[in-house]
Chains A and B, each alone.
Chain A
Amino acid sequence: MGFYDVANHWLIYVMVTIGIVIVLGFAVLSLRKSWKRALEIGYTKQQLMNVTKSSLYFTIVPSIAIVIGLFSLAALLGIPWPWWRLSVIGSVAYELMAADMVFKSASVQVATATSTDFVLIMYVMTIGIIGGLVTSLFVAKKIQTGTLKRSVKDPRWGALGNSVFMMTIMVVFLVPVIVNLGVDLMTLITSAIITLILVFIIKKTGAKWLNNFVLAISLLLAMGSSVLWSALIK
């Protein structure tokens, strides 16, 4: 059997479908538990529906970007395996890097690759990125317990200390985008301006429902603006 005979084989479809059903089951269980707890600690259904709606609206656009990645990956690796990889831990950049490493290590090209090369790609993509999930099983609870304890010991420092993590993550990812200048920077500024305008509108009109859409609208319009900035700058 050749590379693409395996890549588009029904068995891969079946395994991937089962895997995705399990992922969905995990997500639904997680949602059920957190929803129940949220009601217990005093949130109303209306508040939780607002969180849900806002999360759904925001998720659509980045998910479509993932689908675009699926198309480019499917051209190289068939349909079912990229479907699985992008539904779980993977990303287009990582999967392409992993496939490239396999082709190089086996000294083959896609045209001459065998079924064993495809299975090798499956192994490498899985093993290479599973470290985070394995680590989380051992340390995540301890880390979260630490953040909760900080709030109990000293509420002031707890609130401040726990905010440091998100601030640092943003510094590390935001600064290189700014340094890139050009389209990256203009898109970033556009996104910030749109957010400020929306916040202003909410304050002036009292349209609190708009809060649910701020991130989604800013994301969509700023992504749209990147087309304009690309045409003007590049």
Chain B
Amino acid sequence: MSKEKQTTEQYINSVHRVGRIGGAIMIVVMISMPIIAGIYFDATPSIGQIIQASIGLLAIFVPIAISEVISYTPVLGSSIYLTLVTGNVLNLKLPVANNAMHLMDVQYGSEKADVIGSIAVSVSSILTVVIIALGMLLMVPLQPVFNLPAVKTASAYVLPALFGSMALGIFNDNLGGGIRAPGRLKGAIVPTIIVLTLSIADKYILKTGMLSSVQGVLILMMLPITYFITKSLYKKGKIQVILPEGEKADATVQAADE
């Protein structure tokens, strides 16, 4: 006898339970490695040494890490746990999930987007782990090829090579699922001006190159600005949202309660 179909609420509860347990296990695994190594080699550093060496990193990365969770989860959904475990968010997981969502024409934040994004992130994570393992095993024969100047140059431009293609899919009227929103880019004008000003100041006036290390925090600052400007323009009718005829655009999904 086949099992009954899950409701959206049951599915969301179930994937978050798996994600939380998986995430918690990974935290334990990650932390246990230095502890075991320290005990085995009789080389455990003092707590003072650990705090002194990590305090600078924590000051930079804790705000970035928190802001990444807040800004990426609405896009990645329940795959955020696996994404954060396997890393490479910007150069791999976000584009691969976004690409899959566009391919299946689903709207961000819907259950369909969650399911399709999770498949893409899982598949991508598995392949990356396999490729890195192969790279490690084949380090000796591969090193001359990967040390070629052309290969090193090309690998330094992964992000611009990605963003050009991705931007076309993101900066248009299509919201997925046949929903269109003419004029929605108006909501991004103010944040674009702010980021542009900061980027120019950082690159050409202050010349600190600091901006790239605080982009996570910058997203967190720009999100409410884009969100409320978009909402205001939508309420004033300056941005229209056109649903596909006869459909309610994924509105049948039942939000899962905490």
Contacts and interface: CB of A to CB of B under 8 A. Distances in A.
B100 A141 contact: no
A15 B164 contact: no
A168 B123 CA distance: 26
Interface in A194-216: 194-196, 199, 211-212, 214-215
Contact of B132 (A52, A61, A67, A194): A67
B191 A171 contact: yes
Given A120-B53, A191-B164, 10 more contacts: A27-B82, A54-B100, A63-B131, A120-B50, A160-B241, A175-B192, A215-B165, A223-B154, A226-B157, A227-B154
A59 B92 contact: yes
Contact of A170 (B8, B139, B166, B184): B166
Contacts of A119: 34, 37-38, 41, 43-45
Contact of B164 (A26, A136, A163, A190): A190
Contacts of B184: 160, 163, 167
A177 B192 CA distance: 13
Contact of A101 (B23, B44, B53, B84): B53
5 contacts: A55-B124, A74-B139, A158-B250, A175-B196, A176-B202
Interface residues of A, number: 153
A168 to B, nearest CB: 5
Contact of B119 (A48, A122, A124): A48
Nearest to A139: B69
Interface in B18-63: 18-20, 22-27, 29-34, 36-38, 40-41, 43-45, 49-50, 52-54, 56-58, 61-62
B1 interface: no
A194 B165 CA distance: 8
Interface string B152-189: 11111111111111111011000111010100110110
Interface string A121-145: 0111011111111111101111111
B123 A52 contact: yes
Interface in A138-157: 139-152, 155-157
B31 A126 contact: yes
A111 interface: no
Classify the interface of chain A: helix, strand, loop or mixed: helix
A169 interface: yes
Interface in A65-96: 65-68, 70-71, 74, 79, 83-84, 86-91, 94
Contacts of A18: 29
A92 B14 CA distance: 34
Given A37-B11, A74-B139, A227-B153, A87 B86 contact: yes
A135 B23 CA distance: 10
Nearest to B204: A179
Nearest to A81: B33
B127 A63 contact: yes
Contact of A179 (B157, B200, B222): B200
Given A59-B124, A136-B84, A160 B170 contact: no
A84 B211 CA distance: 28
Contacts of A124: 50, 53-54, 57
A34 B30 contact: no
Scoring A22, A23, A150, A190 by chain B CB atoms within 10 A of each residue's CB, the highest score goes to A23
Given A1-B41, A160-B184, A50 B219 contact: no
